[in-house]
Chain A
Amino acid sequence: MITESIFRELGILLIRVDLTTDNAVSEYHHIGEPPSWAEDFLPSESKTIPLTDIFPFIESFIPDAIACWNDNAAEKCQSGVWTEVAASSVQYQLEAQALKTDNQYIIAITNLTPTYQLRQHVYQKAREIALANEKLKLQLNQRQRQLQTLIEKTISERQSEEELNDVVKGSASAVMICKPDGGVEIINQALMDIYSVSHENPLQHRSLLAQWLKEAESIHPEIHRVVDSGGYWEGEFESESNGESKWIRLAIGPVLDNDGGIEHLVCIANDMSELRKSNREIEKLTDYDLTTQLPNRRHFWKQLTKHLDNCIRHKSSFALIYIDIDQFKRINEGLGHHGGDFLLATLASRLSRSVKRDDFIAHLGGDEFALIINMAREDIDLGKIAYRLMEKINKPTLIEEQNVSVSASVGIAIHPRDGRDATSLMKNADLAMYHAKEMGRNQFQLYAPHLGQHFMGRLKVENLLRQAINQGQFRLEYQPQICTGKNPYLRMEALIRWDHPEEGVIPPGQFIPIAEENGLIIDIGRWVLETACRQAKEYADTGLDLVMSVNVSAFQLKDIHFPATVIEVLSEIGLPAKYLELEITETTVMQDLDKVINILRELKKHGISIALDDFGSGFSSLNYLKNLPVDNLKLDRSFIHELPYSDEGKTITASLIKLAHDLNMKVIAEGVENNQQLDLLLEQGCDYIQGYFFYYPLDPQKIRDILTMLKAQPNYSWIESVSTTTLANKRQN
């Protein structure tokens, strides 16, 4: 799935462009958190960006972009590379693309700087060779013309044949002087060397002029007219010599008689095959990737287009397989660029050995490979091919005495079913690949139309999310956590709800992951914290001591200013810190244990309590638990769900509760839905219970009603509000 975080990781800055009704740009907004390179350009405060002031190049691109957005057939258009110097004097190589998605006008700016040096090196090399060739050709032409003039002068001045022979024979260029009908008068060794002809066979010589005229005619149709009319002709063409093809540069100049008729033709030829060969080398340089020696993206596109034309002509089919190495960036950072390059080269060689000769494989750049697989038969098993490729990638690679294992996500699109042109096929194979990545990586996915819809749906949620905070579409519900003992505080967890005016209720599971990926979780998190604290303060002001538990995402904890933000919110609202609990997940903690521990300590210092959410769901060692400044453990609902029927589940919950108590922590069980679960948890000494068995998440008014009702009763307690005797009985015991 192409999400903003992936764009950010790829160094792509996304800009949404608002157009006026007459197609002028009214505003630019960047979408999500910009990639780090963009911070070198973007203003730090304002969210509205005068984009053309920041990137003057874009101004020229905008009309193309608008044309592309207005043309429903066009999918995207590219600006070409440009170099921009940031305020820090660092030079960046950038490229913009105009895209239209879900009626949003998007400009995606990619930072090409990391790969630019390699590209620059290739183009530099190619142009240096071309420059050297050009100079060589220039010298050759000059020499050829000088010789031509000298020979023509020698003939027209009627100098002796001996003198003429000296000029011709001493020349490094191949020379033939002949009659207009091709009858050879003089021929030198250089020409005989090119065409492997001998003095003994004059018939071979006679046919040379005719051969040249015929061979040159296909690309220089004017040659007959020019030569027959006594003009000077020069040009290059492919000529055959003893079954071998050579590139010949030929000049034919006439020597005219006093009446202006053609008396002789002076033909000077040079073998340009070596120069042509170096031109092919240039092509190779620009068509192949230097790291993997595989065809590069440029070459791939040419091949893909050729393949499409062929398939359309022959009504045949092929598959486009798109491979992306999983988390290559991390591997590259760990191994260093040399290690990363070695790994790519190894994978490239394995992949190329595992495809058939007629298939085509390319390294598109970075961690991306693409294959064109001919589908001679319709029942060809693409899944099997994908598995084979993935197996090759999974095989460990020894790099600097370490065995490095990588995986890949693979997307497959089939022509013509999944796209009739190169762009659609690539786009759909790419969508399928991202879907494979989203499904957990190291797997393949065949393109299906719903992937596109899924992607568009996700993009839609992303766009709606931006408006949700400003338009007040979020609200909080609160779910009580019932104390099984005698805790003076009531507890409840704040849970976010999104009521969209047109889309209806959008569940948190659908939007929170997206908000976490595009960074909006920071704004949403702050809103939740403020709203929940304000609510807790309101309850506290009516005499209800209540601990409000608020969820905190990994993203928020990455911000070193997070503790300061929390303290600021508490102080603004006037809520004592002891009424706030922050819930963090085990996975969040494990992402950067030391940093998280410091942040949690800082928060606890101010009197805020901490709960560890989803405990037991991660893969982490229990050893870290003793160092964590945590007050409450929330047992993962998957354990509770298994109770009381799973013996293993019972053992795990009992052990976790005991472990928590030994470490002076309380235990909260969430997802409690029935009496049996409750009985067992009480038996095991669980401290708090949360779940539908007691209360669904409720709006603030309902919570207030319950609290008011309870408060009206002497010795009020949550427990009395529960219509089960079990808990009360257990308490009495």
Chain B
Amino acid sequence: MIAKKICLIGSFAVGKTSLVRRFVESIFSEKYQTTIGVKIDKKIVQIPSQDVQLMIWDMEGRDEFSQHRTSYFRGAAGYFLVIDSTRPETLEVALETQEELQGQLGELPFIALITKRDLTEQRRLDPHRLATMEESGWEILETSAKTGINVERAFQRLAEKILDS
């Protein structure tokens, strides 16, 4: 079976670990638990052409305390840029990160995940900016680790994009 490494990256507390836990273990917890360094999980996704084992690298959120290393992305076949729908600042971080990664890794398949879709009242992202990003070719999915919406789909889509690339 083919194995692919994917990374989840974004600001701290955007819900990267929650997405992975929902996807791998079908669990969700409201409690925020910060990640230090990297945690690697595995899960097989079935896409029409074949099964793919995803090696999911859940990375520590980006902030002044975290130390992101180039090595973390080595061998990655694709990545998720994770953005918190309630924190516009996290969109800025995602944009900066995408620019950096593109410089480092070249054109790799990626998907921007807007998390916490269930918190509709607290949504603060500028829809125009998101539209512009989509126009420039970004694939954006709105997810909720709490309800599970689009979580499976996100991983499935990234696997498909990786195999198509």
- Do A and B actually bind? yes
A79 touches B71 (CB 8 A): yes
Query: Nearest CB to that of B70 among chain A residues?
Result: A64
Query: Nearest CB to that of A142 among chain B residues?
Result: B124
Residue among A79, A120, A131 making CB contact with B36, cutoff 8 Å: A120
In the complex, per-residue mask of A60-98: 1 if CB is within 8 Å of any chain B CB, else 0: 110110000000000000011111110000000101000
Q: Is A169 an interface residue (CB 8 A)?
A: no
A138 touches B71 (CB 8 A): no
B89 touches A80 (CB 8 A): no
Q: Is A123 an interface residue (CB 8 A)?
A: yes
Q: Is A124 an interface residue (CB 8 A)?
A: yes
Q: Is A456 an interface residue (CB 8 A)?
A: no
- The interface residues of chain B lying within 8 Å CB-to-CB of A82 are 37-40
B38 touches A57 (CB 8 A): yes
Q: Is A220 an interface residue (CB 8 A)?
A: no
**A610 smallest CB distance to B (angstroms):** 52
Knowing A82-B39, A123-B65, say if A60 contacts B72 (CB, 8 Å). Answer: yes
* Distance in angstroms between the alpha carbons of A128 and B32 in the assembled complex: 8
Residue among A61, A138, A286 making CB contact with B124, cutoff 8 Å: A138
Residue among A80, A119, A124 making CB contact with B72, cutoff 8 Å: A80
In the complex, per-residue mask of A597-623: 1 if CB is within 8 Å of any chain B CB, else 0: 000000000000000000000000000
A81 touches B88 (CB 8 A): no
* Distance in angstroms between the alpha carbons of A128 and B63 in the assembled complex: 12
* Distance in angstroms between the alpha carbons of A250 and B62 in the assembled complex: 27
A123 touches B89 (CB 8 A): no
- The interface residues of chain A lying within 8 Å CB-to-CB of B32 are 124, 127-128, 131
- The interface residues of chain A lying within 8 Å CB-to-CB of B39 are 82-83
Name which of A57, A119, A120 has the most chain B CB atoms within 10 A of its CB.
A57
Q: Is B13 an interface residue (CB 8 A)?
A: yes
* Distance in angstroms between the alpha carbons of A95 and B37 in the assembled complex: 9
Q: Is A192 an interface residue (CB 8 A)?
A: no
How many residues of A are in contact with the other chain, CB < 8 A? 30
B38 touches A63 (CB 8 A): no
* Distance in angstroms between the alpha carbons of A140 and B32 in the assembled complex: 24
Knowing A57-B40, A123-B34, A127-B12, say if A80 contacts B67 (CB, 8 Å). Answer: yes
**B59 smallest CB distance to A (angstroms):** 10
Q: Is B48 an interface residue (CB 8 A)?
A: no
Q: Is B157 an interface residue (CB 8 A)?
A: no
- The interface residues of chain B lying within 8 Å CB-to-CB of A79 are 69, 71
Q: Is A116 an interface residue (CB 8 A)?
A: yes
Query: Nearest CB to that of B90 among chain A residues?
Result: A134
Q: Is A42 an interface residue (CB 8 A)?
A: no
Residue among A56, A64, A95, A131 making CB contact with B71, cutoff 8 Å: A64
* Distance in angstroms between the alpha carbons of A31 and B32 in the assembled complex: 39
A81 touches B36 (CB 8 A): yes
- The interface residues of chain B lying within 8 Å CB-to-CB of A116 are 36
- The interface residues of chain B lying within 8 Å CB-to-CB of A138 are 87-89, 124
- The interface residues of chain B lying within 8 Å CB-to-CB of A57 are 38, 40
- The interface residues of chain B lying within 8 Å CB-to-CB of A123 are 34, 36, 65
* Distance in angstroms between the alpha carbons of A81 and B72 in the assembled complex: 11
Q: Is B55 an interface residue (CB 8 A)?
A: yes
- Can you sample 10 A-B contacts with CB below 8 Å? A56-B55, A64-B69, A79-B71, A80-B38, A80-B72, A95-B37, A124-B33, A126-B65, A127-B13, A127-B63
Interface residues of B (CB under 8 A from A): 12-13, 32-41, 55, 61, 63, 65, 67, 69, 71-75, 87-89, 124
Interface residues of A (CB under 8 A from B): 56-57, 59-61, 63-64, 79-85, 93, 95, 116, 119-120, 123-124, 126-128, 130-131, 134-135, 138, 286
